[in-house]
Structure 1
Amino acid sequence: MNTSIRSLAVAVTLLLGALVVPAAPAAAAVPAPHCESGGSRFFCLGSSTGTTTWHVTIVFPPATDVIYTTAGPNLSTRCPNPGRGLQVFYTFVSNGVTEISGNTSFWCNPGQWT
């Protein structure tokens, strides 16, 4: 009797183990970039390593997306549309996982740096 119960327990354990599917690694959220603007330019600093893809959305109907690629965690460029609101986030690959930052919103300032 003990042998059949032990065999049944082993069989159930093996069956349950076969049914468990390992979870796919999720993209880890990284901090949103810190951005400043002035003189119709903007600068953003992220926490990425290596090649970074910056996703910039000009918030003005219709919304327009602009993509920039940099070799590191900084983006410095002219405002696509000075005097408009921007939303920025970045992505990069670390150890085979695509990391996605939080989103930062700011005003693309044609005047003094803020």
Structure 2
Amino acid sequence: MRKVTTGLAAAGLATLGLLAAVPGSAAASAPAPFCESGASTFICDAASTGATTWTITERYIAGGSSTYSMTTAGSFLFQNCTSRSTLRVFYSYVADGVTVTSETGGVNCNPYEWP
């Protein structure tokens, strides 16, 4: 009986080892968005497909910041910004069941005409 129990325990541990070795879906990364600003608005272009969730942190020249998220149907974001604030932007989307998250990009909010 002891040999059977030892054999079952070893088989169980081997099975657990195999299960632990199966890789899960790894997170993928994408390049930072390309962003420009003018007339107190900004536009960003992502390397995404389909619905894109954007996370924006706006740091104000007078101090403080706010962070918010929004989802667009495609790879473009067009949004108002506070004059002369600094924007940090990244995005995420799902491709083939894997969530892809970008590097962080940014731009200064330009209150003047578009470049």
Same fold (TM over 0.5): yes
Q: Which runs of 5+ in 1 are unaligned?
A: 1-11
Aligned equivalents of 2:34, 2:56: Cα separation in 1 = 13
Which residue of structure 2 lines up, in the alignment, with residue 107 of structure 1? 108
Secondary structure class of the residue paired with 1:19? helix
Which residue of structure 1 lines up, in the alignment, with residue 34 of structure 2? 34
Which residue of structure 2 lines up, in the alignment, with residue 5 of structure 1? none
Q: Which runs of 5+ in 2 are unaligned?
A: 1-9
Q: CA deviation at 1:56?
A: 0.5
Aligned equivalents of 2:114, 2:87: Cα separation in 1 = 15
Which residue of structure 2 lines up, in the alignment, with residue 3 of structure 1? none
Of residues 71, 74, 85 in structure 1, which corresponds to 2:73? Answer: 71
Computed over aligned residues only, the root mean square deviation of the Cα atoms, in angstroms, reads 1.9
User: Which ranges of 4 or more aligned residues in structure 1 deviate by more than 2 Å?
Assistant: 14-18, 60-63
Aligned equivalents of 2:13, 2:54: Cα separation in 1 = 46
Aligned equivalents of 2:93, 2:102: Cα separation in 1 = 9
1:14-93 matches, within 5 Å, as 18-20=16-18, 21=20, 22-60=22-60, 61-79=63-81, 81-93=82-94
Per-residue CA deviation, residues 44-81 of structure 1 (Å, 9 max, x unaligned), is: 000111111110001234221121211000011211x2
Q: CA deviation at 1:18?
A: 4.6
> One-letter code of the match for 1:26?
A
Corresponding pairs, count: 102
> One-letter code of the match for 2:56?
V
Q: CA deviation at 1:100?
A: 0.3
